[in-house]
């Protein structure tokens, strides 16, 4: 059974702080990793993708990947109240089919 584990939260951080979201996955064959943001009642929105071990930065977001440890994380710098949402970690499974497996998500609450 392929699984993705995320702390469900809520993770509460003050405005301007760094939010750290973590994810572990069970399928060693996963090659690509995506982070989606989902506001309450809305659809998932892609915010980051990472394919290689190490860090990838995009604006205030940094994704980190360690395939040996089967661990991926998302850092949000200078957190804003508008970042308050559920963050879904999604590794690929099934190779060429591009299928994703989703964690249950971490609810982030940024306090003004």
Partner 1 sequence: NAGVTQTPKFRILKIGQSMTLQCTQDMNHNYMYWYRQDPGMGLKLIYYSVGAGITDKGEVPNGYNVSRSTTEDFPLRLELAAPSQTSVYFCASSYSVRNRYSNQPQHFGDGTRLSIL
Q: What residue ranges bind partner 1 (CB under 8 A)? A: 4, 8, 31-32, 34, 42-46, 49, 51-52, 88, 92, 95-105
**Nearer to partner 1 (CB atom), residue 33 or residue 79:** 33
DSSP string, 64-91: EEETTTTEEEEEESS--GGG-EEEEEEE
**Nearer to partner 1 (CB atom), residue 16 or residue 99:** 99
**Nearer to partner 1 (CB atom), residue 17 or residue 24:** 24
103 neighbors 21 (Cβ within 8 angstroms): no
CA distance 33 to 98: 11
Least separation in angstroms between residue 16's CB and partner 1 is 29
Least separation in angstroms between residue 42's CB and partner 1 is 7
76 neighbors 95 (Cβ within 8 angstroms): no
């Amino acid at each position: 059974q392929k699984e993705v584990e995320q702390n469900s939260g809520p993770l509460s951080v003050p405005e301007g702080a760094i939010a750290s979201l973590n994810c572990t996955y069970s399928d060693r064959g996963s090659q690509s990793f995506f982070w989606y943001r989902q506001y309450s009642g809305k659809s998932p929105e892609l915010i980051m993708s990472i394919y290689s071990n190490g860090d990838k930065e995009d604006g205030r977001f940094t994704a980190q990947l360690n395939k040996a440890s089967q661990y991926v994380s998302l850092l949000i710098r200078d957190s804003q109240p508008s970042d308050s949402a559920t963050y879904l970690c999604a590794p690929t499974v099934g190779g060429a089919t591009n299928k994703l497996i989703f964690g249950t998500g971490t609810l982030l609450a940024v306090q003004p």
